[in-house]
């Protein structure tokens, strides 16, 4: 179920604050899931992630591989690979999540596709890897209130029940889990150029991100084209490569103004912001 947003979302004073992340870990002996404490404010958007550190593969024929978050069906099922997803929630009266879901549905297919090889993306002079640009989008789920038939037909509505304020149920934006926010000071020059290329590819496709911050570029070890069990392991003595993704498109919009295109062509606007974010001098490419 999808609701199309009809207005732009202006930046807020809290734009530079990090998202609050809640990790749903393995169950303790008491049967309750362990959740790390967080000192962040309650008005931030939480991201829920299921974490199973000791589980890589599942097989219906081997009960020891069974995940506590998944129940095998009685009928035979193929072997499965376990991967992490991120469930992004919203706070009341905040349209960012709805706008982001609408943008994910508007993105061109090549944003999600895994490519092999390298490409030249101006103004970067060195070839950069071309992988998926954004996380895989698994849907936008809106809670639907079920109303009993008897409540619809009755004319005597309980006033106390009618005035009771129900708790807010957030929609869920379900996405591929793509790692942690980058720290440009710990990245190599090649990795920093690849991070900048993500924003440039986004702009070249006719989109403005409108929120260029370190927290909106994620990094994870290993390539998405590898088997999950191979991503954290070195192959032939070589360390796994990093893969990067752009996130947080609640303020993103299609480019409809010639001024925006001209600024990008001249290396200003988001082009300059992306270079500055990853500590790359734009003058070196002009």
DSSP E strand stretches across the chain: 20-24, 46-50, 57-58, 80-81, 85-88, 118-119, 128-129, 137-141, 172-176, 180-181, 207-208, 217-221, 242-246, 253-254
At residue 112, the pLDDT reads 92
Do 93 and 169 lie in a common domain? yes
200-217 tens-digit pLDDT? 999 999 999 999 999 999
Do 4 and 91 lie in a common domain? yes
- In whole angstroms, give the CA distance from residue 166 to residue 164: 6
- Out of 161, 176, 191, a domain closes at 176
Nearest to 201 by CA among 224, 220, 217: 217
| pLDDT band per the 50, 70, 90 thresholds, residue 2 | very low
Instruction: Choose between 265 and 284: higher pLDDT.
Output: 265
Q: Residue 84 in contact with residue 48, Cβ under 8 Å?
A: no
At residue 159, the pLDDT reads 53
Do 35 and 159 lie in a common domain? yes
Instruction: Choose between 44 and 187: higher pLDDT.
Output: 187
At residue 95, the pLDDT reads 92
- In whole angstroms, give the CA distance from residue 238 to residue 167: 51
Residue 80 has pLDDT above 80, yes or no: no
- In whole angstroms, give the CA distance from residue 198 to residue 282: 15
Plot region of 102 (φ>0 → left; ψ -120 to 50 → alpha; else → beta): alpha
- Out of 148, 176, 204, a domain closes at 176
At residue 286, the pLDDT reads 44
Do 85 and 149 lie in a common domain? yes
At residue 183, the pLDDT reads 95
CA angle 82, 84, 70 (to 5 degrees): 50
Phi and psi (nearest 5°) for 138?
-105, 10
What is the share, in percent, of the chain residues with pLDDT greater than 90? 35
Do 91 and 215 lie in a common domain? no
Query: Buried b / exposed e across 137-167, counting CB within 10 Å, b at 16+?
Result: beebeeeeeeeeeeeeeeeeeeeeeeeeeee
| pLDDT band per the 50, 70, 90 thresholds, residue 37 | very low
Which residues constitute the domain of residue 238?
108-134+178-286
Do 196 and 144 lie in a common domain? no
Instruction: Choose between 18 and 190: higher pLDDT.
Output: 190
| Whole-Å CA distances, 38 to 41, 92, 215 | 9, 20, 17
Q: How far is CA 102 from the centre of its chain?
A: 14
Specify which of 64-68, 192-196, 260-264 reaches the highest per-range mean pLDDT.
Answer: 192-196
Residue 17 has pLDDT above 70, yes or no: no
- Out of 176, 205, 230, a domain closes at 176
Nearest to 197 by CA among 122, 267, 132: 122
| Whole-Å CA distances, 126 to 187, 197, 242 | 16, 10, 17
Residue 5 has pLDDT above 70, yes or no: no
Do 273 and 162 lie in a common domain? no
Lowest model confidence (mean pLDDT) among 190-194, 207-211, 270-274, 282-286? 282-286
| pLDDT band per the 50, 70, 90 thresholds, residue 285 | very low
Do 160 and 97 lie in a common domain? yes
Do 75 and 126 lie in a common domain? no
Residue 229 has pLDDT above 70, yes or no: no
Instruction: Choose between 153 and 215: higher pLDDT.
Output: 215
Mean local confidence (pLDDT), 6-16: 46
| pLDDT band per the 50, 70, 90 thresholds, residue 9 | very low
- Give me the number of domains the chain comprises: 2
| pLDDT band per the 50, 70, 90 thresholds, residue 122 | confident
Do 183 and 147 lie in a common domain? no
CA angle 221, 223, 225 (to 5 degrees): 155
Specify which of 24-28, 210-214, 265-269 reaches the highest per-range mean pLDDT.
Answer: 210-214
Phi and psi (nearest 5°) for 267?
80, 15
86-116 tens-digit pLDDT? 999 999 989 999 999 999 999 999 999 888 7
**What are the tokens at 151?**
């409540």
Do 195 and 268 lie in a common domain? yes
Do 128 and 150 lie in a common domain? no
Mean local confidence (pLDDT), 176-182: 91
């Amino acid at each position: 179920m999808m609701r199309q947003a009809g207005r732009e979302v202006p930046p807020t004073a809290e734009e530079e604050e990090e998202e609050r992340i809640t990790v749903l870990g393995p169950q303790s002996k008491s049967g309750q899931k362990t959740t790390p404490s967080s000192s962040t404010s309650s008005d931030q958007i939480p991201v829920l992630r299921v974490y199973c550190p000791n589980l890589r593969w599942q097989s219906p024929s081997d009960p020891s591989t069974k995940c506590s978050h998944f129940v095998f069906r009685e009928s035979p099922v193929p072997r499965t690979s376990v991967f992490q997803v991120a469930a992004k929630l919203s706070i009341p009266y905040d349209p960012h999540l709805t706008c982001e879901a609408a943008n994910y549905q508007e993105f061109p297919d090549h944003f999600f596709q895994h490519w092999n090889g390298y490409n030249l993306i101006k103004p970067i002079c060195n070839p950069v890897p071309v992988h998926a640009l954004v996380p895989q989008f698994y849907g936008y789920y809106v809670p639907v209130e079920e109303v009993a038939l008897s409540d619809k037909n009755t004319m005597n509505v309980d006033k106390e029940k009618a005035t009771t304020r129900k708790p807010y149920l957030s929609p869920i934006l379900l996405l591929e889990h793509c790692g942690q926010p980058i720290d440009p000071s710990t990245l190599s020059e090649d990795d920093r150029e690849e991070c900048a290329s993500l924003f440039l590819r986004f702009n070249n496709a006719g989109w403005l991100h409108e929120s260029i911050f370190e927290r909106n570029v994620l990094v994870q070890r290993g390539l998405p084209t590898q088997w999950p069990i191979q991503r954290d392991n070195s192959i032939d003595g070589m360390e796994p490569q990093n893969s990067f993704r752009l996130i947080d498109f609640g303020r993103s919009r299609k480019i409809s103004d010639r001024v925006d295109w001209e600024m990008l062509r001249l290396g200003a606007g988001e082009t300059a912001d992306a270079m500055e974010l990853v500590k790359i001098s734009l003058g070196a490419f002009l």
